[in-house]
Amino acid sequence: MDKEEAKNMNKSDLITALMVKNNLTEKQATDIINLVFDRFTKTLKDGGRIEIRGFGSFTVRQYKAYKGRNPKLGEYVEVKAKRLPFFKVGRELKKMADGK
Amino acid sequence: MTKIDIIQNVYEKLGFSKKESSDIVESVFDIIKDSLAQGDKVKISGFGNFVVKEKRARRGRNPQTGQEISITARRVLTFKSSQVLRKALNG
What is the pLDDT at residue A6? 72
Residues A59, A28, single domain; the answer is no
Q: How many angstroms separate the CA atoms of B20 and A89, rounded? A: 26
A73 domain-assigned? yes
Domain range holding A35?
Answer: 9-46
Cβ of B89: how many Cβ atoms within 10 Å? Answer: 19
What is the pLDDT at residue B91? 81
What is the pLDDT at residue A73? 87
Q: Which of B25, B88, B24, B78 is nearest to A41 (CA)?
A: B88
What is the pLDDT at residue A100? 81
- The answer to whether B38 contacts chain A (CB < 8 Å) is yes
pLDDT tens-place values along chain B, 91 residues long: 999 999 999 999 999 999 999 999 999 999 999 999 999 999 999 999 999 999 999 999 999 998 999 999 999 999 999 999 999 999 8
- The answer to whether A93 contacts chain B (CB < 8 Å) is yes
Partner residue opposite A11 with nearest CB, options B36, B40, B44: B44
Residue ranges for chain A with pLDDT beneath 50: 1
Beta bridge partners of B51: B78
Which H/E stretch holds residue A83? strand A82-89
Q: DSSP of B57-69, one letter per residue? A: -EEEE-TTT--EE
What is the pLDDT at residue A20? 98
Q: How many angstroms separate the CA atoms of B2 and A80, rounded? A: 31
Q: Are the beta carbons of B24 and A18 closer than 8 angstroms?
A: yes
CA-based nearest distance B69→chain A, Å: 20
- Enumerate the residues of chain A whose CB falls inside 8 A of the CB of residue B47: 37, 40-41
What is the pLDDT at residue A4? 54
Instruction: Please state the pTM of the whole predicted model.
Output: 0.90
CA-based nearest distance B75→chain A, Å: 5
Residues A18, A61, single domain; the answer is no
Rounded to 10 degrees, the C-alpha dihedral B70/B76/B82/B83 comes to: 10
Number of domains in chain A: 2
A77 domain-assigned? yes
A2 domain-assigned? no
